[in-house]
Amino acid sequence: MYSFLLESRVLPDKDYEFFTYNSAKKVDVSFRGKPITISKGTRFGVRPSTNGKSIRLIFPDEATKVITIDLETAKKLAKGIK
């Protein structure tokens, strides 16, 4: 209910590994309940959470939005960058 209070910290770009998604299969993520679709050509950065239990995702043009994704979503993204 109060998930908006649990924002992830925005770290400098050097803390993220950046990729460009190249698959025709789209991957959906959510930021504060709003869907975001990652499609071919989308550039994004990932890093492990501070405690190492989650994965954080950002987009270069909206670097203040830090999205937490689960392992299943991370695997889908990984398949699309090969």
CA dihedral of 68, 73, 75, 78, whole degrees rounded to 10: -80
* Per-residue pLDDT at 14: 86
According to the model, what pLDDT value does residue 35 have?
Answer: 95
Residue 5 sits at the vertex; the CA angle it makes with 63 and 46, to the nearest 5 degrees, is 30
Residue 51 pLDDT: 81
Q: For the chain, how big is the Rg over CA atoms in Å?
A: 12
CA distance 69 to 72: 8
Four-CA torsion 11, 43, 30, 57, nearest 10 degrees: -30
| Under-70 pLDDT residues of the chain | 1-9
